[in-house]
């Protein structure tokens, strides 16, 4: 996830995601990437090096979303306040009232997704994780833990997923993309994380697919993935901020967990988001 600049190939300068005819990895991988079901020794060493690197970035002075940084980055507009994701400049409301949720959810961390082609890094979207304000009551075992400890502990993120409290991920596109490309990216990330699709999973994926087929997604569009519980997730797409309705409800624990794992599992597609969330949780639990 290193590097800056634009596509070097003329075929890929368009604001839309490049087609599969480009001499680059599949566009499905631009958004989310793929997780192997079994880690090789080289992958394990790479993951260890990445965690070691992230432990440095988790120091308060280096972290983009520590409690102090969030306060400094927040700006007010009427009764609303925002925190800016620094790499993309996308602003996230610090509190969101979403359809289907029992109360407003609180922003706990932000990050971005960047795809690297050779040495060229292209930012694709920013993301912010929101949680129910009472989530700390479900995480007593981690009170007093550092952000680095939280980042290394998969069981904490599993506990957040299993907690019977709402949480939501807001994805904000920083590039235009057609809906099919976005769905293909989601499907490419989800499928390797489900060992065997059941009829319920297949129905859920079909419902999910229908949201994006033939739908252009412009820069600035927000996709909200809102987990109401471990087996039910609402999906909303909005071009002008907080959605007023839900586009679809996904009812499959395999699918809902796979999506959570894409962003907050061991092989998170956004190291910056997961590190930021770890800092936000450490602030909440201390």
Dump pLDDT digits (tens) for 166-194: 999 999 999 898 899 888 888 888 989 99
What does the block give as tokens for 28? 């499905």
pLDDT in tens, 21-73: 334 444 445 444 444 433 344 444 444 444 444 443 444 433 334 344 444 34
CB 187 within 8 A of CB 23: no
CB 168 within 8 A of CB 226: yes
User: In sequence order, which residues have a C-beta less than 8 Å from that of residue 223 and are 6 or more positions away?
Assistant: 170, 171, 173, 182, 217, 235, 236, 237
Structural domain boundaries in the chain: 30-284
Residue with tokens 């991988």: 29
CA-based nearest residue to 258, from 206, 212, 204: 204
State yes or no: pLDDT of 78 exceeds 70. no
> What fold, for 30-284?
Chalcone isomerase (3.50.70)
Q: Per DSSP, what are the bridge partners of residue 217?
A: 177
pLDDT in tens, 196-213: 999 999 999 999 999 998
User: In sequence order, which residues have a C-beta less than 8 Å from that of residue 99 and are 6 or more positions away?
Assistant: 226, 234, 236, 243, 244, 245, 246
How far is the C-alpha of 261 from the C-alpha of 254, rounded, in Å? 10
How far is the C-alpha of 230 from the C-alpha of 161, rounded, in Å? 6
């Amino acid at each position: 996830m290193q590097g800056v600049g634009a596509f070097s190939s003329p075929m890929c300068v368009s604001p839309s995601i490049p087609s599969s005819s480009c001499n680059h990895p599949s566009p499905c991988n631009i958004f989310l990437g793929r997780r192997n079901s079994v880690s090789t020794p080289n992958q394990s060493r790479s993951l260890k090096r990445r965690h070691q690197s992230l432990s440095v970035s988790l120091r308060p002075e280096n972290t983009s979303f520590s409690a102090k940084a969030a306060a400094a980055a927040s700006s007010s507009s009427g009764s609303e306040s925002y925190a800016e994701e620094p790499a993309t400049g996308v602003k996230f409301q610090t509190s969101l009232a979403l359809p289907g949720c029992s109360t407003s959810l609180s922003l706990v961390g932000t990050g971005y997704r960047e795809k690297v082609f050779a040495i060229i890094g292209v930012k694709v979207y920013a993301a912010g994780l929101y949680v129910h304000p009472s989530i700390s009551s479900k995480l007593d075992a981690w009170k007093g833990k550092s952000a680095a400890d939280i980042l290394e502990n998969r069981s904490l993120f599993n506990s957040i997923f299993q907690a019977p409290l709402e949480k939501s991920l807001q994805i904000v596109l920083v590039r235009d993309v057609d809906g099919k490309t976005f769905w293909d990216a989601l499907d490419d990330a989800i499928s390797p994380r489900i060992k065997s699709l059941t009829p319920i999973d297949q129905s859920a994926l079909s419902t999910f697919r229908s949201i994006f087929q033939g739908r252009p997604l412009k820069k600035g569009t927000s996709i909200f993935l809102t987990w109401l519980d471990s087996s039910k997730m609402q999906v909303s797409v909005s071009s002008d901020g907080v959605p007023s309705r839900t586009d679809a409800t996904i009812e499959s624990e395999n699918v809902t967990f796979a999506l959570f794992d894409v962003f907050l599992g061991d092989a998170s597609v956004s190291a910056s988001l997961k590190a930021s969330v770890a800092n936000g949780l450490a602030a909440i639990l201390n």
